[in-house]
Structure 1
Amino acid sequence: MYMKKFILLTAVLAILTSCGSKDKGELVGVKGKKWHPEKPYGMELIPGGAFIMGKADDDLAGIHDAPSKTVTVRAFYMDATEITNSEYRQFVNWVRDSIVRMKLAILADEVGKVPEDGGIGEYAFKDADTANMSVYEKYMFENYTGLGPTGYEGRKLNKDVDLVFDTSEYPDEYYTEVMDTMYLPLEESYNGQRTWDVKKFKFQYSHMDIQEAAKNRGISRKDVIVKEEIEIYPDTTVWIRDFAYSYNEPMHNDYFWHDAYGEYPVVGITWEQAKAFCEWRTINKNSYQKSRKGAALINTFRLPSEAEWEYAARGGLQAATYPWGGPYTKSDRGCFMANFKPVRGDYAADQALYTVEAKSYEPNDYNLYNMAGNVSEWVNASYDPSAYQYTSTINPSVNDNSNQRKIVRGGSWKDVAYFLQVSSRDYEYADSARSYIGFRTVQDYMGTQVTKNGQ
């Protein structure tokens, strides 16, 4: 009896489904939203293609480290310039403000303050008032809030109210108490100025180790979720430590924070901090995408692979020594083509003493600025002198988590011309920061139709 009812119900559902369908019973596939690629702000599209990666045979020293090899990379977007101080400050401020808002919300919760009470209550968690929560929000709050180590994980911050940084306008003593914890103690201040305790500017994120998951097919998903906590403030002391017996205090004091250097490339950034910036940039953009009805989430921002970096630096030119194509560092008018150390001790011969603004000199044929000189750039690769001998010929990438020697490319304002060559390789340790190393980000292009054969 039950079996007959089940068969009858199945038949009815099948009839209803086929009658109300627009596909006429044909295999037409699932119709999703129309995809319209959106060029990320400040980036250039690098068409995929093949190129000869590595050193020329006449470079007897470099050929052992980077033997020539034909490889192919897929299309991707790349920042037209190095990440600037201004752009990185946006990241720093976001982290700082998020931490302040969390501290304010926690204290408001502890003292029982809600938005109607004013003062710190205005910064209470959004779930302090459950009346306006959606069904989904109520479900998530009741089932998933407070499961972390602090008991506040999963609770929404109220970002509708502006933070107050002027001490004369603090709303109450609770707000003052929280802000006081974000600054260095009075005994560590001088000249009547209290400064932020930048050790508290920590960015937390998690990601999945896809390589590990692929190698161990039976591994649990939670075992390949990696949680990171990174101090994100640049190490401004690099301007002192990198140069013994040299007066560079003005760069230490002003380079990162002063608006005069806003469009200059950020330095003093470790490889780990550069990776954290990429994660934040993805989160920040996707938060905006979620606020737009029907908007698709973006691909992640990331550091380029070594092959992607060299391919982009060449600008579509094969066998070129520098991004501008020629074997010389001067133009036909006798002007230097990049910011580097052209003469022993004469850093200013190229009209720049330290770094220059990120959009300086002429871009290469992919419209990318300073792919040679200015600052060296972190890439998502570990240094192995024999890597070119065993990497794949399609999207080659070598990034060993156990190898902390990470590749930097492009040469910098303090390097000689050899390190500006698009094929030159160098490395620094992942936890090291330097006054001459910055970075730029890339994003995968969705689709394969944008390709360019090597010329």
Structure 2
Amino acid sequence: MKKVLMLFACVAFLASCGNGDRGQLVGAKGKRWHPEKPYGMTTVSGGSFIMGKSDDDIAALKNAPTKTVTVRSFYMDETEITNSEYRQFVEWVRDSVVRMRLAILADELGETPGTGGIGEYAFLDQDPDNLTPYEQYMLDNYAGLGETGYEGRKINREIDLIWETEEYPDEYYVEVMDTMYLPQEESYNGQRTMDVSKFEFQYTWMDIQAAARAKKGKRSDFIKRENVKIYPDTTVWIKDFSYSYNEPMHNDYFWHAAYDDYPVVGVSWQQAKAFCAWRTLEHNSYRKEKGQHFVNTYRLPTEAEWEYAARGGIESASYPWGGPYTKNDRGCFMANFKPLRGDYAADQALYTVEAKSFEPNDFNLYNMAGNVSEWVDSSYDPSSYEYSSSMNPNVNDVSNKRKVVRGGSWKDVSYFLQVSSRDYEYADSARSYIGFRTVQDYLGNDLDLNRPPQ
């Protein structure tokens, strides 16, 4: 027995020496973490500011009394999300839907990779020789536990989709692609377009606020599943303006390359949230392949974060550039809005302008006033400033469908361009003058507070 104990002690001693910690409490080491500013974003150093109306409340809404609040550091998109950026999301969802339908039909037909035709798009788990023990276990125990019976199956993203009709590999591929387009009787002018109502993105999220406040309940009780049709509502250009000819914007604004760098519009609050979930998924999928830490989630900014960022470090200013005027010393307008009682062209723009237009504020953020109003994460309550926290304030009541929009737009008068002005729209609504930008939390606290980036 003594020999066994001595052997155990020696092994423990050698293990301790091998770790290089000399038996001391040095902490468990994780992967090396290097803060990485996401592409197209700027760093907003956290700090305190006076939130709310610091000048006259011309509209007498009394919904933004001044209040000193503090926000943590975060990254924010330099511009509003553009049409080309949102189209990347739409095309990813479109391709995923097509691949899933191809894989399902291949599964029903018993086709497998290597057989040619639709079999090349079969679920990857239909080739058991290429499955790891983990993938095989998950397939045996969890696949198919859902509404469709195909949840957990891995689609093949390695092989390119074929879009040219004359190159379709077999009649089964034709059958699947036919389901993605509008019926022939709904086509006109010799063009048959895709049925964008099929572009649906599914994601899950956890209502941590509710979970933290609940006295009982399982984790699964607070996990929410969302199914969102993600194609923008292009008809907003017509529905928002009665007796006005805006068909060219309806026909071309979202998909034409001429508008690639213009802010996306016609996107609801729910669709903006879905975009954030997809952007997180896309970024972390890449980092997983590289064996790197996952990044924090992309999300919509809170109302306080948005106002802090819009001010650009200028305390108690009316506009992102300071103010109180909307023109600079050369007589040029500083933003895209509706000046001079309705002269839309006075600021050199009829509708939206490119997302990187006009001068950025001191945080290097473009169009925090004008161009398009922007969805934020907060729910609208006229009295929310009275009861919200002074540390990272946010009021997001899931039962309140009125969501805050900030910044004013190309069709608004200057009052709504003020950094303290509040407005709202319903979460399921889309408008030709509302877009969004995203933020991501900065992990750590080694930034210089209240100092704009140099």
- Same fold per TM (> 0.5)? yes
Report the CA distance shift for 1:47/1:62 in structure 2 as closer, same or farther (over 3 A): farther
Q: What does 1:63-78 correspond to in 2, within 5 Å?
A: 64-78=62-76
Q: Secondary structure at the match of 1:71?
A: strand
Distance 1:172 1:253, change over 3 A: same
- TM superposition shift of 1:63: 6.8
Residue 191 of structure 1, aligned match among 180, 189, 192: 189
CA distance in 2 between partners of 1:60 and 1:440 (Å):
28
User: Shift in Å at residue 58 of structure 1?
Assistant: 2.9
1:23 to 1:177, Cα distance in 2 relative to 1, 3 A: same
The structure 2 residue matched to 1:434, chosen from 411, 420, 431, is: 431
SS in 2 for 1:207: strand
Q: State the partner residue of 2:175.
A: 177
CA contact (8 A) 1:92 1:232 kept: yes
3-state SS of 1:356 partner: coil
* Counterpart check, 1:239 vs 2:237: yes
3-state SS of the aligned residue for 2:144?
coil
Mapping of residues 40-439 of structure 1, within 5 Å: 40-59=38-57, 61-62=59-60, 64-292=62-290, 294-439=291-436
For residues 97 and 106 of structure 2, the distance between their equivalents in structure 1, rounded to whole angstroms, comes to 14
CA distance 1:125–1:454, change in 2 (3 Å) = closer
Moved more, 334-343 or 142-151: 142-151
Q: Offset of 1:274 from its aligned partner?
A: 0.2
Shift in Å, 1:15: 3.6
Question: Could you say if the C-alpha distance between residues 443 and 310 of structure 1 is closer, same or farther in structure 2, counting changes exceeding 3 Å?
Answer: same
- Return the offset for 1:67: 0.3
8 A Cα contact 2:45 2:450, kept in partner:
no
Superposition CA RMSD, Å: 1.7
In structure 2, do the counterparts of structure 1 residues 63 and 70 end up closer, same or farther at CA, with 3 Å as the change threshold?
farther
AA partner of residue 148 (structure 1): G
Contact 2:50 2:67 (C-alpha < 8 Å) held by counterparts: yes
- Name the counterpart of 1:30: 28
> What is the identity, as a one-letter code, of the residue corresponding to 1:119?
G
State the Cα distance separating 1:452 from its structure 2 match.
2.0
Q: Which amino acid aligns with 2:204?
A: S
Structure 1 residues 5 and 70: alpha-carbon distance in aligned structure 2, compared to 1, 3 A threshold: farther
Percent of aligned positions that are identical: 72
1:447 is displaced (CA, Å) by 0.6
| Aligned residue type for 2:227 | E
Please report how far the alpha carbon of residue 299 of structure 1 lies from its aligned counterpart in structure 2 after TM superposition: 0.6
1:121–1:66 CA distance, 2 compared to 1 (3 A): same
Whole-Å Cα distance in 2 between the matches of residues 155 and 360 of structure 1? Answer: 44
Separation in 1, partners of 2:117, 2:3: 64
Q: Is the 8 A contact 2:210 2:222 kept in 1?
A: yes
Give the one of 442, 449, 452 matched to 2:449. Answer: 452
Q: Output the amino acid matched with 1:242.
A: D
Unaligned runs of 5+ in 1: none
Q: Cα 1:96–1:12, aligned 2, differ >3 Å: closer, same or farther?
A: same
- Cα distance change, pair 15–359 in 1 and its aligned pair in 2 (3 A): same
Q: What code does the residue aligned with 1:253 have?
A: N
CA contact (8 A) 1:269 1:437 kept: yes
Give the match's secondary structure for 2:19.
coil
Quick one: structure 1 residues 94 and 5, their matched pair in 2 at CA, closer, same or farther if it must change by over 3 Å? farther
Contact 1:342 1:349 in 2 (8 A): yes
8 Å CA contact 1:315–1:365 kept in 2: the answer is yes
Q: Secondary structure, in 3 states, of the residue corresponding to 1:91? A: helix
Is the CA contact (8 Å cut-off) linking 1:50 and 1:454 kept in structure 2?
Answer: no
Q: CA deviation at 1:64?
A: 1.6
SS at match of 1:377: strand
Q: 1:402 to 1:13 in 2, by over 3 A?
A: farther
Number of corresponding residues: 452
Alpha-carbon displacement from aligned partner over 1:157-176 (angstroms, at most 9, x marks no partner) = 11111001111111100000
TM-score of the pair, normalised by structure 2: 0.96
Secondary structure in structure 2 of the residue aligned to 1:433: coil
Return the alpha-carbon distance in structure 1 between the equivalents of residues 392 and 24 of structure 2.
37
Report which stretch shifted further, 266-275 or 151-160: 151-160
- Spell out, residue by residue over 1:106-143, the C-alpha distance to the aligned partner (whole angstroms, 9 max, x if none): 00010111122101011011111111212221222222
How far apart are the structure 1 equivalents of 2:155 and 2:140? 17
> Given the superposition, is the C-alpha separation of residues 410 and 130 from structure 1 closer, same or farther in structure 2, using an over 3 Å criterion?
same
Checking the alignment, whether the CA contact within 8 Å between 1:54 and 1:63 is kept in structure 2 is no
Contact 1:265/1:438 (<8 A) preserved: yes
What per-residue deviation string (whole Å, max 9, x for no partner) do you get for residues 31-77 of structure 1?
Answer: 22221101100000000011000002532645721000111100000
Query: Structure 2 counterpart of 1:426, which letter?
Result: D
Partner deviation per Cα, 1:219-261 (whole Å, 9 max, x = no partner): 1001000000000000000000000110000000000011101
